[in-house]
Structure 1
Amino acid sequence: MKIPIIPVIALAAITFAIYHVMTSQGPVSQAEPPIEPARSPYASKLAGAGIVESRTENIEIAADVSGVVSELLISEGQTIDAGQLLLKLDARDVEADLKIHEASLQNVMAQYQRLERMPRAEEVPPAKADVTEAEAEVRQTKDAYERQQKLNREKIGTDEELVTARSQLEVAQAKLEKAQADYQLVIAGTWQQDLLVTESQVQQMRAEIQKTQTELERHEVRAPTSGFLSVNNETKSVWEVLQINRRPGEYVGTPPGEAIVILADAGQRRIRVDIDEHDLPRFEPNQPAIAFPRGDGKTSYPLSFVRVEPYVVPKRSLTGDNADRVDTRVLQVIYEFENSNSRIYVGQQMDVFIDLSEKNKK
């Protein structure tokens, strides 16, 4: 009898497959997570995602005018004082205008001082000499006129000669009056109205210089002043440079497409925690809280409550969880790190747990 080969092979293959499946299956081992997740130390808790920020939040520095960055005076991570110069924009045209206005002011000031010191000592003797000369000429022409009158009475001179002598006397008298008026003008000094006009020109040029200096200062980008931040009645005057988005040679517009420099308070860091709207009935301010950095479930930072921003907003800080919803609304609560260090960075995301044990006991 002939044995069918194909069915036998098929039966053997099925038998081997069943045996392999039965023998290869074993208990599935639990894989260890590559990074230990943060675990709440509280028996009753409320969890939320937080973003580290400074006490002033991020200060996006802008320029008053547009231009090209000519000099950068800071670097990322540097701490700077209030009002410190951050960068300069190209202001060669304004500097040239300033020099022109300063030269014009010097010119007008010189004119004012010249008018104020009038008359010059050297101008008085020539004016007085002109008067003396005119008086002598009057005496001479008057004597000639009187002689001509005498000759006419004696029928020796002509009427034409008499008229000429009288005209010369009148001219000499007019010259004397002019010389005397010029002398009085010289010794009187500068007319007060001329001084007022020149003084107004001086004030105008000073105003032009002040305006140009202000325009020059607008080409300098500086840190905010110390009065900008006051925490616990303490005026803060130190800033930290978080980011620089413009380098020498790059153009700065108004308004800029992005912040030129981002500054933040260099003091204690804070964290902005998003409390899901579904968890709001369980939330209680002033409760203890703790933060864990992402990727480090063993390091924790105690938090102290600062304030609640009483406005529920759409959630923007996503955790990456599959259950994260973009249409969720959250309440933002601000906490401050009690012992923050240099390893906490602005913009860093952390897991935050709020203790509800005390609330449950009540």
Structure 2
Amino acid sequence: MKIFPFFLKVGLPMLAVGGVAAALAVASKGSQPSAAAEVSGHPPAATYSSYIAGAGLVEALGRNIEISTPVGGIIDKVFVQVGAHVSAGAPLFRIEGRDKLAELKAREANIPLYEAKIQEAEAALADYRVQLKTAETLVDKRALSAEEFSKRRANVAIYESKLAQAKADLANAQAQVEESRTDLERRVVRSPIDGEVLELNALPGAYAAASVNDTVLAMVGNVDRLAVRIDIDENDAWRFERGRPARASIRGNSDLTVDLTFEYVEPYVRPKKSLTGSSTERTDTRVLQVVYSFPNGKIPAYVGQQMDVFISAPAAAETKGRAAEASGR
């Protein structure tokens, strides 16, 4: 009974003091400034006194080719893997076609029947032609009645028609066989170019639609040389000149730079699709797309990667002066 009053007088105040001290320690530690995050790289810097800046996207030279299928169905075999080098015409994947294979075998089985009908018609026609020729060479025409002579001539005409029909039936059967073979061949999706498999979403057992799929079934491209598709804001498009030097750096590491070679310009100014999220960026921005290239392996760049690009351009005053001279002529 004496312990409880002692706890109330001494223990509780000590606990209160300890709690206050702990709260002050936590508050003091939380108010200390946190260490600055280590910067992995510095912002890209232009190497030209006058330039156009743009965001670039790495792609295969000659574009990334998205592969689809002309025939919808279940994928029953995939012949390649991501990263594989393929030749033009190499099979990528195949759509199941057991029904078409059975149809082909049935049609191929009909070919010998039609060939036999041709042989039969040819043999009968040869016999009737001999009979008609014999009748025509008789010295005494009275040895054969006019009715019999007409019958032999009619038989020749009938079997000439039967032979022509048998040949037409054979040609039709052969065309049906080729149709079935073409249907089977269309189910084997092949690479249209020599290149590398950049993406592969075709899986055995998955359904591939002949229309637009949610994800690309396969993508191939020639990556011996990589292209950079650069979006130039429409406000700077008038300053761009074909063939001007350009330099690009990997997004996230501006120390990895490469000189670019001009390839071509797509003259249609289109709505910008790849938005950066900047607060000053307008969603109605239109861009001129310019394509440069560089050797694959020059820097560790991959198809689909973003790059910061600076294109050498004449100063705005210089460009305006040229425009004024041109308008004054």
TM-score with structure 2 setting the length = 0.70
Residue identity matched to 1:197: Q
> Percent of counterpart pairs with the same letter?
37
In the alignment, what sits opposite 1:203?
171
Tell me, yes or no, if structure 1 residue 304 matches structure 2 residue 261.
yes
Q: Distance in 2 between matches of 1:67 and 1:93?
A: 12
What is the rounded CA distance, in whole Å, between the counterparts of 2:317 and 2:195 in structure 1? 41
Quote the offset at 1:255 in angstroms.
0.5
Contact 2:258 2:294 in 1 (8 A): yes
Q: Would you say the 8 A contact 2:223–2:296 is kept in 1?
A: no
Q: Aligned runs of 1:1-362 on 2, under 5 Å? A: 33-118=39-124, 191-224=159-192, 237-257=193-213, 258-338=215-295, 340-341=297-298, 343-356=300-313
- Look up the equivalent residue of 1:220 and give its one-letter code: V
For the structure 1 residues 341 and 304, does the alpha-carbon distance in structure 2 shift closer, same or farther, using more than 3 Å as the test? same
- Residue identity in the other structure for 2:222: D
Q: Structure 1 residue 30: deviation in Å?
A: 8.4
Which ranges in structure 1 are unaligned for 5 or more consecutive residues? 1-23, 122-176, 225-236
TM superposition shift of 1:358: 8.5
SS of 1:97's equivalent in the other structure is helix
The number of aligned residues is 266
What's the offset of the Cα at 1:32?
Answer: 5.6
Q: Quick one: which amino acid aligns to residue 210 of structure 1? A: E
**AA partner of residue 42 (structure 1):** Y
Question: For residues 242 and 112 of structure 1, what CA distance do their matches in structure 2 show?
Answer: 53
- Partner amino acid for 2:104? L
Q: CA deviation at 1:321?
A: 3.5
- 8 Å CA contact 2:256–2:299 kept in 1: the answer is no
SS in 1 for 2:176: helix
Show the counterpart of 2:24. none
Report the secondary structure of 1:56's partner residue. coil
Assess, with a 3 A threshold, how the Cα gap between structure 1 residues 327 and 291 changes in structure 2: closer, same or farther: same
2:205 alignment partner AA: G
Q: What's the CA shift string for 1:215-257, capped at 9, x where partnerless?
A: 1111111122xxxxxxxxxxxx512211112201111112032
State the 4+ residue runs in structure 1 displaced beyond 6 angstroms.
357-362
Q: Is the 8 A contact 1:67 1:253 kept in 2?
A: yes
User: Which one-letter code corresponds to 1:40 in the other structure?
Assistant: A
The amino acid of 1:243's aligned partner reads E
1:302/1:339 contact within 8 Å kept: no
Residue aligning to 2:28: none
